[in-house]
């Protein structure tokens, strides 16, 4: 995907319409493109305002009022130009069906507008999280004491860790990372003198990742990468795929 293509994905990103790989690639693009970052914020805010402007939830008493009318409303007798009632009360059944359909439509309309508002709110929050994540990653990379270490990963991939001890944070970047086995995820760890401390999960669907490692660096001397059950583990359950020392 070219840089020009990435610039056109702001709307799809706000509406959660990108696949996992496209989303990861676009989020990496956001870290370097201030114009796209601003457009994502503006689109998310606009979507939220639009949905709030049209959202209207029907009052709780509407359904009770209509249901009472269903049981009390009399069928209009046939007259000139009207069809004869269907025997066996079918005309009344159709009338009740029509009223019930109105109730469903009214309630459905309210539900749809609420859903639209929730989708816009989710998009706004996702954009805020992406903005914060991009800012945090940029801060680590730009830290005056940032140190970099790179190593090979299984399957032909490579990993780079950037440590900024002044911020007490570290970031991990991968390229050409194969997907883990079904039902498994890649989990990052801080190495605290031989004790592994969880540093968060990677996006298993993306071959290229940019992850702010979760938790403070503190006195960690390095990091590890393991394959864990979906959702992650409190401690490693498998031999590390990779172990990297933090740069001195």
Residue pLDDT tens, the chain, 248 long? 666 677 788 877 777 778 888 888 888 888 888 888 888 887 776 665 554 444 455 566 665 665 666 556 555 554 454 444 444 444 444 444 444 555 455 455 455 555 555 666 667 777 777 777 778 888 888 888 888 888 888 778 888 889 999 999 999 988 888 888 889 999 999 999 889 999 999 887 777 778 889 999 988 999 999 999 989 999 999 888 888 898 87
For position 90, what pLDDT does the model report? 46
C-alpha neighbours within 13 Å on the C-beta side of residue 108: 6
For position 93, what pLDDT does the model report? 45
Asked if residues 18 and 26 have their Cβ atoms less than 8 Å apart, the reply is yes
For position 190, what pLDDT does the model report? 95
Residue (of 177, 168, 221) closest to 196 by Cα position:
221
For position 31, what pLDDT does the model report? 84
For position 237, what pLDDT does the model report? 92
Asked if residues 100 and 42 have their Cβ atoms less than 8 Å apart, the reply is no
**What does R_g of the chain's alpha carbons equal in angstroms?**
28
For position 14, what pLDDT does the model report? 72
- Dihedral angle computed from the Cα positions of residues 54, 55, 61 and 64, in that order, rounded to the nearest 10 degrees: 90
What is the Cα–Cα distance from 10 to 100, expressed in whole angstroms? 41
For every residue of 12-23, DSSP letters joined together read HHHTT-S-HHHH
Strands 209-212 vs 184-192: parallel, antiparallel or unpaired = unpaired
Record the pTM. 0.51
For position 64, what pLDDT does the model report? 65
What is the Cα–Cα distance from 123 to 39, expressed in whole angstroms? 13
Residue (of 146, 145, 246, 233) closest to 193 by Cα position:
246
Asked if residues 226 and 240 have their Cβ atoms less than 8 Å apart, the reply is yes
């Amino acid at each position: 995907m070219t840089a020009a293509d990435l610039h056109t994905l702001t709307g799809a990103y706000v509406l959660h319409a990108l696949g996992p790989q496209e989303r990861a690639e676009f989020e990496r693009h956001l870290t370097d493109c201030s114009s796209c970052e601003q457009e994502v914020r503006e689109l998310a805010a606009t979507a939220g305002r639009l949905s709030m402007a049209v959202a209207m939830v029907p009052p709780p008493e509407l359904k009770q009022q209509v249901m009472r009318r269903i049981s009390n409303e009399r069928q209009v007798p046939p007259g000139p130009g009207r069809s004869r009632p269907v025997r066996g009360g079918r005309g009344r059944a159709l009338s009740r069906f029509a009223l019930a359909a109105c109730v469903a439509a009214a309630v459905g309309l309210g539900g749809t507008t609420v859903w639209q508002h929730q989708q816009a709110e989710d998009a706004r929050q996702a954009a805020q999280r992406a903005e914060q994540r991009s800012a945090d990653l940029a801060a680590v990379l730009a830290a005056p004491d940032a140190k970099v270490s790179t190593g090979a990963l299984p399957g032909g991939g490579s990993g780079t860790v950037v440590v900024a001890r002044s911020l007490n944070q570290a970031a991990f970047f991968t390229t050409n990372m194969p997907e883990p086995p079904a039902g498994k995820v890649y989990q990052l760890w801080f190495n605290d003198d031989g004790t592994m401390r969880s540093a968060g999960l990677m996006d298993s669907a993306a071959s290229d990742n940019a992850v702010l490692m979760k938790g403070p660096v503190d006195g960690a001397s390095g990091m590890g990468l393991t394959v864990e059950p979906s959702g992650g583990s409190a401690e490693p359950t498998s031999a590390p795929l990779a172990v990297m020392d933090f740069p001195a």
